Amino acid sequence: MFTFRVTNDYGCTSLRSNVVTISTPGIPTLIITDPAPVCFPSTVDITTDTITDGSTPGLTYTYWEDSDCTVEFETPTNARGGIYYIRGTTVSGFFDIKPVVVTVVPPPVPNAGSDQVLNYIFDTQLNASLGPEERGKWQVIMGTGKIENDSLPATTVTGLSLNENIIRWTVTNDVCQPVADTLTITVNDLIIPTLITPNLDGKNDYFVLRGIATLGRTELLIFDRRGVLVYKNSEYNNEWDGVDQKGNPLPADTYFYSIRPANGHPYNGYIVIER
């Protein structure tokens, strides 16, 4: 870049000129640095100096949609994702053309998976979704739970509490703002029926303890109104259908049970047999 003055034959000298660029013949140096990715719906201004920083000074830049520079890019200050082309031309008409890559990243869509309802079960599998170039993190925000690996979309949670446990799955792609979804895991207490109707119709035929799988080895004792033991099973597995110890059907009446699990406290209550 230069300035100049002009002196005529009479010795008069002009004022200093504006700065002018005098280029050397030949293809100029054109350096293109791709802009940092942005999050949709943001756009990128590819006319900023940082994109052509380091190029030959004084170039005139034009912006194109094709490498042959036949289709002018009309909105270079609001470029959406794609490949565009910048032509840098010297004052002498020499030029170079190079691509610039604009990356517009879609925001992540978090999906923590479906809500779950467990019957006296205190651990389960978490199954979230995670897109390419995304990272996620689990966090318990209500209730309790120990997450085996809080950065994996598919992992195990243990130590849940009775009733509602809310777990948040937060996703980021390092460009857009983090977004989150929540998963509610409801743990029901041990469900013990108060009525069985062992008539082989497929409904309430058995004394089914929902959640028995978590109790470990479980003993079931059944007593009649007088307190006489009429049935005992040291490894109960939801198969009692209102019979006595010899397999004979018990009369329709109210009976009393004692459930003694290896894990947890005993449960006592009543069960009605209707026939």
Looking at residue 225, its pLDDT comes to 95
- Of all helices (H) and strands (E), which one includes residue 169? strand 163-172
Domain that holds residue 63: 38-105
Looking at residue 20, its pLDDT comes to 65
Looking at residue 42, its pLDDT comes to 97
Query: Total domain count for the chain?
Result: 3
**For 51-76, what is the mean pLDDT?**
96
Residue ending a domain, choose from 105, 134, 153:
105
User: Looking at residue 180, which CATH number applies to its domain?
Assistant: 2.60.40.10
- Of all helices (H) and strands (E), which one includes residue 52? helix 49-52
Return the sign of the alpha-carbon dihedral for residues 255, 260, 263, 264. positive
Residue 11 lies in a domain: no
Name the pTM for this structure: 0.71
Strand 154-158 relative to strand 124-127, pairing: antiparallel
